[in-house]
Amino acid sequence: MPRLYSRNARRTNGSALLWASKHGYVNAARQSLASLGSIQKIAMDGFTPMHLALSGGHLEVARLLVKHGQLNVRDPRLGQTPCALASCKGNAAMVRILLREGEVDVNLKDFYGRTPMLWAAENGHDEIVRLLLGRKDINTDTRDSSGCTALLLAARQGNEAIVKDLLDTFADVNIPDNIFRRTPLAWAVWHGHESVVELLLSSSALGVNIKDNNGATSLSLAAFHGRRAIVKLLLAQDGLEYNQDKYGRTPLDWALIRGHKDVSQALAEFVKVRTV
């Protein structure tokens, strides 16, 4: 049997290892590794054995492969490294192994500009986010091709625990995306994530009056959607400005246009007090 694996290693560029990795055959993978020595040039259409093992959820095979390199190779489909792939899928056990036993670049970006942190933050994998935050070389404010940071993605998805973890590590709370120019606060307001809004408002660095590409503040966005609880949270903020957007409409205008009576009342009272 060892002779069979060594023959495979010489003549088929490690196809047995690729097959074992893809299908999760631990013993076959172990024997292939023993015969190959080096797996640096082994891949199937650009996918390394580690990529194949992680894609199939074969943790035991991945454990065998982690000490054999190829940990910063990007796949041809999304450009993901093994760490990015595991982070995207929520495989915390594998991320832990990669970070502990492998030389992993946690800031490498895929074809969409996404790092492992960005994938974990958007998909709500809080354990993985905490593992990545434990790395001294982690860049918490890196942006993907749309300009989104991990904090923005977590806030937009309503991932409260991740927002808290990122705020605790002093992630920049005011970086907007490139398309709508909305900050994490604006996105949390837009999607109605009240608990996330509260967390963001607790940051002393927060710019509560930042406008998006339509000139709308978070207060305008909350009024537009009729989010009464969030409107009240924003109205309680020191330094809150009451601005028009680029269409000349105020938060009260939007609440009236959209028929949000309770929000209209709250805003009308606020405006009345400010003008007295």
The pLDDT of residue 83 is: 96
Span 138-164, mean pLDDT? 98
Q: Which of 48-52, 137-141, 223-227 has the lowest mean pLDDT?
A: 48-52
Residue range 81-106, pLDDT digits in tens: 999 999 999 999 999 999 998 689 99
The pLDDT of residue 276 is: 57
d(CA 210, CA 183): 8
Closest residue by Cα to residue 9 from 43, 28, 47, 35: 35
What tokens does 185 get?
Answer: 């606060």
Residue range 34-63, pLDDT digits in tens: 887 667 767 777 888 999 999 898 999 999
Span 182-210, mean pLDDT? 98
State the CATH number of the domain containing residue 16.
Answer: 1.25.40.20
Amino acid at site 130: R
Taking 80 as the threshold, does the pLDDT of residue 8 lie above it? no
Closest residue by Cα to residue 144 from 111, 171, 180, 174: 111
Q: Does a structural domain hold residue 175? A: no
Span 130-158, mean pLDDT? 98
Q: Does a structural domain hold residue 3? A: yes
pTM for the full model?
Answer: 0.90
Please give the tally of structural domains in the chain: 1
The pLDDT of residue 12 is: 45
Q: Say what the alpha-carbon torsion angle 112, 216, 184, 199 is, to the nearest 10 degrees.
A: -170
The pLDDT of residue 38 is: 66
The pLDDT of residue 1 is: 44
Q: Does a structural domain hold residue 209? A: no
Q: Does a structural domain hold residue 235? A: no
d(CA 222, CA 228): 8
Task: Work out the angle at residue 33's Cα, subtended by the Cα atoms of residues 41 and 74, and round it to the nearest 5 degrees.
Answer: 35
Q: Does a structural domain hold residue 127? A: no
The pLDDT of residue 39 is: 76
Per-residue confidence band for 14, with pLDDT thresholds at 50, 70 and 90: low
Span 247-255, mean pLDDT? 98
Q: Does a structural domain hold residue 27? A: yes
- Domain assignment of residue 61, given as a range: 1-68
